[in-house]
Amino acid sequence: MFDKLQTIDTRYDELMALVSDASVQADPLQYRTHAKALADIQPLVDAFREYKSVLTEITETQELAQNTDRDMRELAEQELATLETRRDDLLAEIKDLMVPKDPNDEKNVVLEIRAGTGGDEAGLFAADLFRMYARFAERQGWKVDVMSTSESGVGAIKEVIALIEGRQVYSQLKHESGVHRVQRVPATEASGRIHTSTATVAVLPEAEEVDIAIEQQDLRIDTFCSSGPGGQSVNTTYSAVRLTHLPTGLVVSQQDEKSQIKNRAKAMKVLRARLYEMELQRQHDEIAEDRRSQVGTGERSEKIRTYNFPQNRVTDHRIGFTTHRLTEMLNGDLAEMSEALTTHFRAEMLKDAEPIARS
């Protein structure tokens, strides 16, 4: 591990020299690339350099602890205990910093929520989940742009797709993907019997054009009249857009905007995100035995979480975490659950890093 850290330390000095070079500063793209690489490794280098400094101090203090003067020896022993604690803390921090970062963590996301089994109750639950994420986004200062909605009754939805933009959106929502289950008494249930319904959540990192290249010849674009509320433009102008990605068969429709150009732009965002997710899943399938790959995408086929209304309880089955703050969670307070998930999956990744640390 320390050989690798020393290599990173040397690379840091090289990058410092590069960003200070006049020719690099004159090239914005080159400068941004080196500056970002520098920022990425700086926390690790700072911790490593402090760690080395503490090791030196420990050696010097150990020598003082051998002093025949009693007062000097006692002071040295107290200082040694403090230094050894700091050394251990820094080593833990270094191991944590050496865990590979998810390259998607800084990205915006395309959030897709669909009603599952359970009829109208599943649609109501899907709407509850969307409100939960929208309120959480508001707490984080993120922007939510609803791209398409399909309703299935008063207060219920079949499907909603939204773009959530902000700082580190994917890092905080990526573990939400999967099947969510609700257990409660529906408003229409006269006998008070508890029903179980589900909704699916997909959190897709927004893909930029540099991530996924969509060739024009691979795309079929159809236009049609919008349906539903929207005034005079509905059923009179071909503003709705349907994109078909011919190689994969993926189809995305968008009709929320009155402008065909805006609908096409929104549809392209959704299509690009779905293609990017397919590519991530393909990579995941190739390395399915690798624990880190499972952390990266999660298991969509299993029920990941249960919301039990009678007991005001939420349980995440992947990590065995339970909280009796269901009402607060549905009002957008996801901090406790998000922290528990992040801590668990980061610990799983640290397990993979430990063999490296011992080498």
| Stretch (H or E) spanning 304 | strand 303-308
At 2 the pLDDT is 77
The answer to whether 174 and 300 are in contact (CB under 8 A) is no
Q: Would you give the distance in Å from CA 296 to the centre of its chain?
A: 9
Rg (CA), the chain: 26
Cα–Cα distances (Å) from 47 to 44, 59, 214, 245, in that order, read 5, 19, 42, 47
Residues 222-257 as b or e (16 or more Cβ within 10 Å = b): eeeebeeebeeebeeeebbbbbbbeeeeeebebbbb
Query: 180 in helix, strand or coil?
Result: strand
Q: Name the band, by pLDDT with cuts 50, 70 and 90, for residue 335.
A: very high
Q: Name the band, by pLDDT with cuts 50, 70 and 90, for residue 228.
A: low
For residue range 336-350, list pLDDT tens digits in order. Answer: 999 999 888 877 776
Cα angle for residues 10, 15, 21 (degrees, 5° grid): 135
For residue range 174-223, list pLDDT tens digits in order. Answer: 999 999 999 999 876 767 789 999 999 999 888 765 567 788 888 898 88
Distance linking the first and last C-alpha atoms of the chain? 6
At 153 the pLDDT is 75
What is the percent of the chain with per-residue pLDDT over 90, rounded to a whole number?
Answer: 40
Domain boundaries, the chain: 2-97, 109-210+304-358, 216-283
Whats the size of the chain, residue-wise? 359
Half-sphere exposure in the Cβ direction for 174 (13 Å, CA): 23
Arithmetic mean of pLDDT over the chain: 83
Write the class of the CATH domain 109-210+304-358.
Answer: alpha beta
DSSP letter for 191, please: T
For residue range 79-113, list pLDDT tens digits in order. Answer: 999 999 999 999 888 887 877 777 788 889 989 99
Q: What is the DSSP string of 55-124?
A: HHHHHHHHHHHT-S-HHHHHHHHHHHHHHHHHHHHHHHHHHHHTSPPPTTTTS-EEEEEEE-SSTHHHHH
pLDDT at 123 over 70: yes
At 291 the pLDDT is 31
Close Cβ partners of 292 (under 8 Å, ≥ 6 residues apart): 100, 348, 349, 352
Q: Name the band, by pLDDT with cuts 50, 70 and 90, for residue 302.
A: low
Residue at token pair 């990266």 = 296
| Stretch (H or E) spanning 286 | helix 260-286
The answer to whether 231 and 220 are in contact (CB under 8 A) is no
Q: CA 169, 172, 177, 179 torsion: positive or negative?
A: negative
At 15 the pLDDT is 92
For residue range 249-296, list pLDDT tens digits in order. Answer: 889 888 878 788 888 888 888 888 888 888 877 766 653 443 333 333
Q: Which of 60, 101, 105 is nearest to 80 (CA)?
A: 60
Task: Note the CATH number of domain 216-283.
Answer: 3.30.160.20
At 354 the pLDDT is 47
Task: Report which listed range, 69-78, 131-140, 144-153, 222-231, is most confident.
Answer: 131-140
Report the distance separating Cα 176 and Cα 300, nearest Å: 10
Q: What is the DSSP string of 47-60?
A: HHHHHHHHHHHHHH
Tokens encoding 325: 């703050």
Residue at token pair 């929207």 = 230
At 181 the pLDDT is 94
Tokens encoding 44: 């690790």
DSSP letter for 237, please: S
